Structure 1
Amino acid sequence: MLFGRQTLRLPSPEEALPGRPEREFPVPERHTVLGNSLLGPYPEGLRVADFGLGCFWGAERIFWQQPGVWTTLVGYQGGHTPHPAYEEVCSGMTGHTEAVRVVFDPQQVSYERLLALFWESHDPTQGFRQGNDRGTQYRSAVYTHSEEQLREAEASREAYQKVLTAAGHGEITTEILPAEGRPFYAAEPYHQQYLDKNPGGYCGIGGTGVACPVGLT
């Protein structure tokens, strides 16, 4: 295996890079836009949702702009390598996808609304790719934090598949799995709220142009 090689096959646990026992860099204390804590502890009553929809720079901005979202942070999830570095994730040999953790107030914004944002903000039929971004780290994913979230995510996938199919799109490739057993590893400080710090920075996020079904807003 060549480090840096971009594979379109997820590695097995045995093939994955070994990683490290703990994070090797500090995570900023506060969100640069929302002003709230990135890692918590979060106020009582807030909920957590995790999404992967391509390059996490643009994905994070979509969610921090949503009223009712308390904080967001970007990281790596769904793979095997503990506490990976960005370069390791990009090699395709950690199994992680680029993810956004969304901490939200369910009294102000529903999980259903966040799912609608998720589906409409990328193309979930592209497999290990989003637009010009190609690699396993760009795959579409939802990692759920309760049985209710899992049910809602699976129901929304079924509903959205119907409207995508009607519009001539292919099968959804999004993985929907429990977050339990799939730790979220915060990304390096320069990735956090990247497009706030670099307003003219790259954003490869783009939807299909298909609106979510009624009931997903």
Structure 2
Amino acid sequence: MLFPHLRHDHRLPTAEEALKGRPEPAFPLAGRHAVLGNPLAGPYPEGLAVADFGLGCFWGAERRFWQTPGVWTTLVGYQGGHTPNPTYEEVCSGLTGHTEAVRVVFDPAVVPYASLLKVFWESHDPTQGFRQGNDRGTQYRSAVYTHSPEQQSAAESSRDAYQSVLRASGYGDITTEIRPAGPFHHAEEYHQQYLEKNPAGYCGIGGTGVSCPVGVAPAGGN
């Protein structure tokens, strides 16, 4: 692990504390999705929309979304932090402020944004703060990064509805970060569709078993 004497896994670094990063990506992103066959990088075809989610280790999280009908492509990366164009090792140091994120490119005529929110909430425990199960660190925090006022409203409405059913099931407060999307920095090639390339690979994704109410958010969010 890089910078063990400086590691922050209990709080987010300030912009002044964060690693400086680099002006350009440290590695290219090319090729097509290993399962869906569509390009990973944009620009994407007209009529598609983009959604970004953080729900723990992005290997298993990405698979949940590429298995969802109506999703055109997915890719994993780093989002919500300060350091431009970080590497995986830098993100894991806790000194970039990023969380592991999945970018979902979808056809809203086939799968509404509300349905993606349902997948998101039910695929992890959003009450755990800076961890997901045994994975601990700020890079595993729960997050929704939105691309329109409609997505922001839908995410907040779904959070409030899910909070009610989680609380009734004995869970605490949702700690999910919901805010407009900032830069999405793609992860290294070997992380993309990792569980397709490594079927026996680690998957730390696991939900609460509590169903998110259907129809808790508007179907828009293009």
Question: Is the TM value for this pair above 0.5?
Answer: yes
Q: Is the 1:6–1:90 Cα contact (8 Å) retained in structure 2?
A: no
Which whole-Å CA distance do the structure 2 matches of 1:24 and 1:58 have between them?
A: 24
Q: Is the 1:77–1:97 Cα contact (8 Å) retained in structure 2?
A: yes
Structure 2 counterpart SS, 1:102: strand
Partner of 1:28: 30
Partner of 1:202: 202
Partner of 1:71: 73
Partner of 2:83: 81
Specify which of 111, 136, 139 is matched with residue 137 of structure 1: 139
Structure 1 residue 113: Cα displacement? 0.1
State whether structure 2 residue 180 is matched by structure 1 residue 178.
Answer: yes
Identity, % of aligned positions: 76
Q: Is the 2:53–2:145 Cα contact (8 Å) retained in structure 1?
A: yes
Q: Is the 2:9–2:130 Cα contact (8 Å) retained in structure 1?
A: no
Q: Is the 2:7–2:94 Cα contact (8 Å) retained in structure 1?
A: yes
Q: Is the 2:73–2:106 Cα contact (8 Å) retained in structure 1?
A: yes
Which whole-Å CA distance do the structure 1 matches of 2:26 and 2:90 have between them?
A: 14
One-letter amino acid of the counterpart of residue 198, structure 2: N
Deviations 1:59-101 (A, max 9, x none): 0000000000000000000000000000000000000000000
Q: Is the 2:76–2:192 Cα contact (8 Å) retained in structure 1?
A: yes
Structure 2 counterpart SS, 1:155: helix
Which whole-Å CA distance do the structure 2 matches of 1:143 and 1:41 have between them?
A: 19
Deviations 1:154-210 (A, max 9, x none): 00000000000000000000000001xx20000000000000000110000000000
Aligned length: 215
Partner of 1:62: 64
Which whole-Å CA distance do the structure 2 matches of 1:3 and 1:63 have between them?
A: 36
Which whole-Å CA distance do the structure 2 matches of 1:188 and 1:3 have between them?
A: 25
Structure 2 counterpart SS, 1:16: coil
Specify which of 146, 149, 152 is matched with residue 150 of structure 1: 152
Structure 2 counterpart SS, 1:35: coil
Structure 1 residue 130: Cα displacement? 0.2
Extract unaligned runs of 5+ from structure 2: 218-222
Q: Is the 2:78–2:186 Cα contact (8 Å) retained in structure 1?
A: yes
Extract unaligned runs of 5+ from structure 1: none
Structure 1 residue 5: Cα displacement? 2.6
* Alignment TM-score, normalising by the size of structure 1: 0.97
Structure 2 counterpart SS, 1:158: helix
* Alignment TM-score, normalising by the size of structure 2: 0.94
Structure 2 counterpart SS, 1:63: helix
Q: Is the 1:115–1:216 Cα contact (8 Å) retained in structure 2?
A: no
Partner of 2:121: 119
4+ aligned runs moved over 6 Å, structure 1: none
Structure 1 counterpart SS, 2:190: helix
Which whole-Å CA distance do the structure 2 matches of 1:142 and 1:7 have between them?
A: 20
Note the aligned Cα RMSD (angstroms). Answer: 1.2
Q: Is the 2:9–2:136 Cα contact (8 Å) retained in structure 1?
A: no
Structure 1 residue 41: Cα displacement? 1.4
Partner of 2:99: 97
Structure 1 residue 28: Cα displacement? 2.8
